[in-house]
Structure 1
Amino acid sequence: MADARDIYQAHLDRTSQMLWDRDYDALVACMRYPHAVRTPERTAMVAGPDALRAFAGDFRDNLAALGVTAFLRICEEAAMLTPDTLAGVHTTYALRGATPVIEPFRTRLRLERVDGQWIGGDIETAARNADIRVNVARTETGAA
């Protein structure tokens, strides 16, 4: 059986690639709904897949506009809470070449095993909305 860090990093790698490839249909299938996204400024509830598509699309568009050429999320720690729940912390790097375009930031994420698949749940990030340039209010509705 894979350990918590391996499971967590595999989820990060898979979902980061989906975001990078703009494969939002696959990405929204990797999360449970509703789930909370907590930033230093506010907490938003992501009600469903349309809301996550809006957030992910905004975030990916902004990465492109900033000239980001690599998007990496690296597990710092992860632990099993129950046989079907784990929690971890990772650092996100948005780079142009080897230079950070956004100050690297730490995020806490819970994963839950549902029907044998590990999916994401609540997120708490140190990233400020202004730094990642997304409309977190739109995350709650998915509205344009």
Structure 2
Amino acid sequence: MKEDSSEGAFVIHDNDLARTIYKSILDAYSDAITLGDFSRFLPFFHLPLVLETFEGERTVDTPEVLRFVFNGLHDSQHDLDIVEVKRTCSVAQFVGPDEIRAVHETKLIDRSGIVQQAYTGLCTMCQIDGQWQLTRCQFAEEKVSQPTLALRGIVQQNKNDTAAQ
């Protein structure tokens, strides 16, 4: 890795390594969703996690709320009869020794080979206690895509929890 710390800025010029790390995390948490295994999903996210779509920004601050998001993603894949999830990292770069920002595209493909949904994500990942975890995810997509539906679910769950108190 080549580091350049001139003028106080820290830049690592090794985008291949950033892409490899990012893609491995994408693949692992995607597999956990497909398998319906929350215990495999949880370690890839640092709480509080910020999720953002065109609908707004929400903070996921407990494992219970993250489980709610996970269940929404898993159920959506099941309902759409998704058999393959392709996540392609288009760019990834270190913005510090323990932080990566990257952009990826997700395609959800059903049993007949048709792409049911496609959306783009910009995520920040940090190395915390020696483990790379997602800390912020922003998604640009249609109002019916998985991230938006999951975010709506958090909002609705928060409203339900508040009303019950």
Superposed pair shares fold, TM > 0.5: yes
Is contact 1:45-1:139 (8 Å) kept?
no
CA distance, structure 2, for counterparts of residue 73 and residue 127 of structure 1 = 15
CA distance, structure 2, for counterparts of residue 126 and residue 36 of structure 1 = 15
Percentage identity across aligned positions? 22
The residue number in structure 2 matching 1:136 is 151
CA distance, structure 2, for counterparts of residue 28 and residue 139 of structure 1 = 17
Q: Could you list the runs of 5+ residues in structure 1 that have no partner in the other structure?
A: none
Q: Which of residues 114, 117, 126 is equivalent to 1:112? A: 126
- Higher relative CO (Cα under 8 Å, sequence separation at least 6) belongs to 1
Q: Could you list the runs of 5+ residues in structure 2 that have no partner in the other structure?
A: 2-15
Q: CA deviation at 1:135?
A: 4.4
Q: CA deviation at 1:129?
A: 4.3
CA distance, structure 1, for counterparts of residue 142 and residue 33 of structure 2 = 19
RMSD between superposed Cα atoms in Å: 2.1
Name the TM-score, length of structure 1 as normaliser: 0.89
The code of the aligned residue for 2:65 comes to A
SS at match of 2:125: strand
The residue number in structure 1 matching 2:9 is none
The residue number in structure 2 matching 1:86 is 100
The structure with the larger Rg is 2
Is contact 1:41-1:128 (8 Å) kept?
no
Name the TM-score, length of structure 2 as normaliser: 0.79
SS at match of 1:32: strand
